Structure formats: structure tokens, C-alpha cells
Structure 1
Amino acid sequence: MITAALVFGPSKLTITSKLGAVYGYSLLWVVIVAILFMAVFTGMSTRIGVATHQSLLASVRQKWGKPASVLMGIGVFLVTTSFQAGNSIGVGIAVGELYHTSPVPWILFFNAFGISLLFFRSFYSVLERTMILLIFVKLFSFVTTFFWAEPDAGKIVSGFTTPTIPEGSQGLIIAFIASCFSIVGALYQSYLIQERIRINPALREAKNDSTTGIILLGGMCSIVIICAAAILNPKGIAVNSATDMAKALEPIFGNNASTLFLVGLFGAAFSSLIGNASVGGTLLGDALGLGSNFSSRSVRYLVALVMIIGASIAIRFGKLPLELIVFAQSVTIFIVPFIGTALYMVGNDREIMGDKVNSPLVKVVAGLGLLVIFSLAIINCKELFLNNP
């Protein structure tokens, strides 16, 4: 649930809205592809967390040495910190639009609130309950919008079962797969499951299934694409941000629909605000030997640091600066294939995994997922360094 909540942020809401608004129902099949690979890698990460009594970065250290684990930890911290401003802006805009005020006070308030959650003794339990609540806020908002939209059932089925690539859609397809098939989110799953086991050791012997949360992630992506396809596509309304989607609903369904969608946007932004910061702080703490769980005071301070940096950038610039986006993309290009490969190799290591080692089927599907990751990295590298001199 936490993984699904932190992956489905404002950028995902924007991309999915745009997919439906521009290309209608025709790209729904992309959700299945992205969710399949995400489910496989998240499941692998879950088994790694259950099979070992050490963190994933500790297993990386065991296999390839300290420099590899430090590189992963610092890389993830840089990526999450770079994108944290977008989550702060999303929270500020969502609530600011609801109350017709400046986003700045809301950015300050909700970051302060997020940091205050860190000082609860059982932060993981608070995080889990908050994320589950926000998941249901998002689901309620988007499912209600779905029924208002009255989509075409036949076109929905066709969109899922008949893969097509409309002209000019390649960029959005790549952006969606890269954001939905989140290797950083999958990596973090191993830390989350170990946090649960630390609180309740009996869970190590229980069935730990990450599929439900990932299916919910796919469901939310599909619903937003369908809503945009049903409402915006016939009218030729394109969207460049999630708030554009909310504004487009207003003349069709009135203030209630716009408000409802903004509530969903808030849920997406605030869940990513906390979740994204938790990923960056935990991984950097582990890489530097300061701890790998929320009981470590140093990890909590690092999580707070990610929030403070993101909020500062959001207030200073009011948007994600282009230079920061380029920097984040540059780091992502190099770190994500490395993380995916490390996950795959650890999951295949019988000495580390025991009876939870990857099955032959998982090896094949995850291997295809790695090909997708490396292909996306090559495409992004070409776009970033060759097409933008």
C-alpha cells in the first residue's frame, strides 16, 4: 500500500490525465505492461526483505563491496530530493485551488505536519495508516469521477486488449512506463517489509504479498486515463498539469467534480511527499551506516531533510526548476539500471535468498523488465545529452 501510494504522485496524475485526454482509451494496455513489471520487481524486493536479516544495501555490500552500496544510497537520495519539490508544489496547489489561496502557506503547513509525524514513536505504523487512508481518498475521488464520466465500456475493453501506438505518443508512453515501473519504489519495498517484521517478527513466517498494492496502483492509473478519455478527449482539451484536469471537470460537472478531483490530487501529492522523503532518508542512512529503519534517529532526520529541501525549492521557485529536472533525470539514467540489476542479482542469489530465490519464470519476466529499464535509460540519455546540446 505504501509503495503504491508513494509511486502515484502528482507527476503520475498529470501523465495519466494527458494520456487519456490526448489519446483516449487507446493506451490503456500500457498500464498492464508497466504494472506487470512493477509487480514482479516489487514481489522480488519483498522476498529479499523476508529472506534476509540485513538490509538490501547490506546485501549489495556483501556482493559488490561498500562503494556499490554507497553509490546506490546517495543516488536514491539525490533523485528523491530533486523530485521532492514537485510533491510540495502539488500539495500547495491542490489545497490552494480548493480554498482560492496562495499555495505557499499550505506547502509550509503540510511539510511541517509531515515532519511532525517522524517524531511518533512508531513512525512506520503512522506512515502505514496515513498511506492507506490517502489511498482510499484517491480511490474514492477517482472512482466517483469515473461514474460521473460515464465512459464507453467497449472502448475500455479495446484499450486494454488491443495494443496500439498512436502517432506522437511514444514520449508519453516512455514517461508513463518509467514513472509507473518505479525501480526505486520497488527497492524500498524490501525496507518496508523489514520494518513490519521488526515490529511483528511473526510476519517473517506469514505470507507477504505486495501484489494488492500494485494492482491498486494500476487501477488508479487506469481510472484517471479513462476519466480523461471520456471527458476531455471528445472536447479536444489537453492537460499539462493535474490541476488542468480538475479545472476541465468544472464546466462539465460543476464545482463538486473539480473539488473532488483536487482532493484526489492532494492525496496523491501528500502521500508522495511523505513516502518519497522516507525513501531518500532511509537509503542514505543505510548507505552511510547510520541505520536502515525508522527507529534510527539519524534516518528520521534525513527524511526531514528531504522534506525541508523540497519545501524550500517549492517556495523559492514556485515550480520545479528546469535545471533540477535535468539533474534528476541525469542521476536517474545512471542509477536506476544499476538498482534494477542489483535487485535482480540479489534475488537470483540462492546463498542469500535460500528457498525464496527467484523462480525460473520470475527470472525471465524480470530479465525482460531489465531490458525495458536499460532501453529507457538509453532513450533518456539520447534525449538529454544528444538532442539538448
Structure 2
Amino acid sequence: MIKRLTNIGPGVLVTAAFIGPGTVTACTLAGANYGFALLWALLFATIATIVLQEMSARLGTISGKGLGAVLHQSLETSPWRWPLTVLIILALFGGNAAYEAGNLAGAALGIEAITSHNTMIFKASVLVLSVFAAIILFAGSYRQIEKFLIGLVLIMGLAFVLTFFAVKPALSPMLSGLFVPKIPDGSLLTVIALIGTTVVPYNLFLHASAAKNRWQGERDLASARADTVLSIGLGGIIAILVASTAAASIFAQGLSVTNAADMAVQFEPLFGSFSKYLLGVGLFAAGLSSTITAPLATSYALSEILNISDQRRVLVSRIISLSILVIGAVLSLTGIKPIQLIILAQFANGLLLPVMAGFLIYALNQRQLLGKYTNGWAANLAGCCVLVLTAGLGLRLIARSLGAI
């Protein structure tokens, strides 16, 4: 086990990507509004993410190709090649730019929660964070970025673990919420949000590309799988701790909260200023880690889909990463309400996730690509179950974004 922990790697990129401010806020609202009742949705979302990301890691490890490269190869002979390619590129670019805006705003709110609620501090924080993220992305190698994100995930986990134990939630209702599915009145949209913020389509590209850079062939497959389960399992635990902390404090006290920054402030009368600092650090780490992974994932995916040559890939990847970072910073500084940015990201997520999950399952059944490591019946069954749910989720999110329901 110690060897597995010291060898942890690409899966942390996925954890850092999905545990962003949106997830922290969704988990906070779930716990604050419904207590422990929706913890089962987080458990399901974690398992679903492990199922899909294991496929991505296996694809990169065994085939030596990213999901974007496999997608490009599959579309080469299709008459719909360019319309589909343009659609996927626009969805990835637009969706990730929206996510980036939320990530930067969330990390800045973490700083604002620790200092004071001041517009100038918020804007200055966004600019400083953007420059800091750009330096990391441009100057750091893949392994340096990976190590940096491992550190942020550990800080984030520690912040929420300490807060969780400070609150001391009752174990019996917590276990009931984890293993007995319930959908209280008015909670369906929250259930959808909890699953939708965890199972993220760009992570499928990110993980396959990172895995092929870290793992090579059959001998590394066990390590890649262990890394996936440990890293994403850690992310799932953090999400469950956030929701449980809100349930044991805000819900139990009958208080209200609109976002994670408000939760940090409202914890202060109960546990002193220490809770404010813990939650501020956690929100900052969640935002900054996702701020780095969203541009990184976009550059991986688009470089592979466009089949950029090795000689030009570094330059093109940096241009794509910087573009996502700049657009995200501009959006977060325009005064657009965070909920509007989240709806935009949900629209792209709902449009793309079922398509990417379906293509991933298709790719994992190609024997010429993976040989004996194609999906078995159990993996296909699990993947199809996730696909059906994410397709329903996507349709629901699209309808909601368009105001149809």
C-alpha cells in the first residue's frame, strides 16, 4: 500500500479537476439543505467516475494513445469528420472556458473569505491567480505540475478533514445517507448537480493522455488502476466530507447558505475563526487545482483531435492553455454571476458527456487497439449503466439550461 501511495500520479489530475469550487458549492448546498440524505449520490458519482476513468487510464496505458488521438483516427474516414470535429472542439473549448471562470472565481472567493469581502481584493486575486497558473503551466513539466497538484489536493483534503472532525457528525445518519438512496422533495436538481460536477467529460481526455505519459504497457496496468482508484476515491471522500460537514452544522442549526464562502463565514460563530481559515484554504486549493487542470486538459484533447505534430505540439498546447486561462479570467471579472457561468458549463457538459462516454466504451471494445485488454462483459455493463444515466443527466441539464423545465 505504501508503494502504491508513493507512486500515485495521473489520477490526481482527475481528482484536482473535479474537486473544484463547483463541487464544493454543490456539496455544501446538498448538506446544508438536505442533511445527510444525498450522500448516496456522491458515492454513486465516485463509483461512476472510477468506472469511466479506469477505461481512460487503460486506453492510455495499453495503446499509448490519448482519447483525442483515438477519436481523430476514428473520424478520419467519416464524411461527418469536420462537422463533428468542430462541434467537439467548440464544446470542449467553450465548456472548459466556463469552468475556468468558475475555478478562478472560486479560488478568489477562498482568499476573500479569509481576508474580507472586498471587490478589489476579489479582482486582484483573480489576476494574481491567473498569472500564477500561467507560470505553472508554461514553466513546469508534466511531472512538476503533477507533484504541485498532489500537494494542493493534500492541503484541500486536510482542510476538510479537520473541519469534519471539528463538527463531529453523527455516524448513524451519515451511514444511512451513504447506503440508503432517498430523494427528498425538491432535491432532484441537487442530485443531478452532485453527479454532474463529478463525472466530467474533459477528464476522460485528461486521464488517457496523462496515463500514456506516465505508464507504458501491460506491466504498468496494475499501477495505473491502483492510481485511479486511490486518487478518485480520495476525491470522493473529500466531497462526502464537505457535504457531511455542512449537514452536521448548517443543516442541524437550521441556517442557510448560498455558497462555500458563506459557509466559511457562518461556521465562525460555531467554531471560531479557525473554521473560516480551514474552509478558505480548502476553497482556494480546490479552485487553484482546477484552474490548472482545465487548460491542461483542453490542450491535451485539442492537440490530439487536431493531430498536431510533435514539433508544434508544445507551442500549440501552450497557446490553447493560455487562451482558456485568459477567457476564464475575463469572464470571472465581468461581473457575471457564478450561477450563470455554471449553467453555461452544465450545458456544454450535458451536450458532450454522453457522447464522450459512449465513444470511450466503443474504443475500449476495439481488439486491434487493446488486444486482450478490451472491456469484458462486467466493464461494458457498468459503463453502459453509467452511459444511460449520463445521457439522462445530459438531456435534463440541456433542458434546464434552455428553460424548458
For Structure 1 versus Structure 2, the TM-score category normalised by the shorter chain is over 0.9
2:127 to 80, 83, 108: 108
Change (3 A) 1:202 1:369: closer
When normalised by structure 1's length, the TM-score is 0.92
Which deviates the most, 224-233 or 89-98? 89-98
2:115 to 79, 88, 99: 99
Q: Distance in 2 between matches of 1:380 and 1:387?
A: 10
Secondary structure (helix, strand or coil) at the match of 2:244 reads: helix
Taking every aligned residue pair, what percent have the same amino acid on both sides? 26
User: What's the counterpart of residue 260 of structure 1?
Assistant: 278
Q: Answer yes or no: is 1:40 the counterpart of 2:58.
A: no
Task: Report Cα offsets for 1:60-85 as digits up to 9, x if no partner.
Answer: 22223343455433321211012211
2:394 to 362, 367, 377: 377
User: What's the counterpart of residue 165 of structure 2?
Assistant: 147
Within 5 Å, give how 1:1-389 maps onto structure 2.
1-65=12-76, 66-67=81-82, 68-100=84-116, 101=118, 102-120=121-139, 122-197=140-215, 204=220, 207-209=223-225, 210-290=228-308, 296-317=314-335, 319-320=337-338, 322=340, 324-385=341-402, 387=404
Q: Answer yes or no: is the 8 Å Cα contact 1:14–1:239 preserved in 2.
A: no
Cα shift at 1:325: 4.7
Cα shift at 1:203: 7.2
Q: Distance in 2 between matches of 1:51 and 1:15?
A: 35
Secondary structure (helix, strand or coil) at the match of 2:65 reads: coil
Secondary structure (helix, strand or coil) at the match of 1:232 reads: helix
Letter in 2 for 1:358: N
Which deviates the most, 44-53 or 324-333? 324-333
Change (3 A) 1:178 1:103: same
Secondary structure (helix, strand or coil) at the match of 2:186 reads: coil
Q: Distance in 1 between matches of 2:285 and 2:28?
A: 16
Change (3 A) 1:310 1:291: farther
Change (3 A) 1:90 1:292: farther
Q: Answer yes or no: is the 8 Å Cα contact 2:110–2:279 preserved in 1.
A: no
Cα shift at 1:297: 2.0
User: What's the counterpart of residue 4 of structure 2?
Assistant: none
What are the ranges of 5 or more consecutive residues in structure 2 without an aligned counterpart?
1-11
Q: Distance in 2 between matches of 1:292 and 1:74?
A: 23
- How many residue pairs are counted as aligned between the two chains? 384
Q: Answer yes or no: is the 8 Å Cα contact 2:205–2:301 preserved in 1.
A: no
Q: Distance in 2 between matches of 1:33 and 1:206?
A: 23
CA RMSD in angstroms, aligned pairs only: 2.2
Q: Distance in 2 between matches of 1:194 and 1:377?
A: 29
Task: Report Cα offsets for 1:2-37 as digits up to 9, x if no partner.
Answer: 101111000100010111111111111111211111
Letter in 2 for 1:138: M
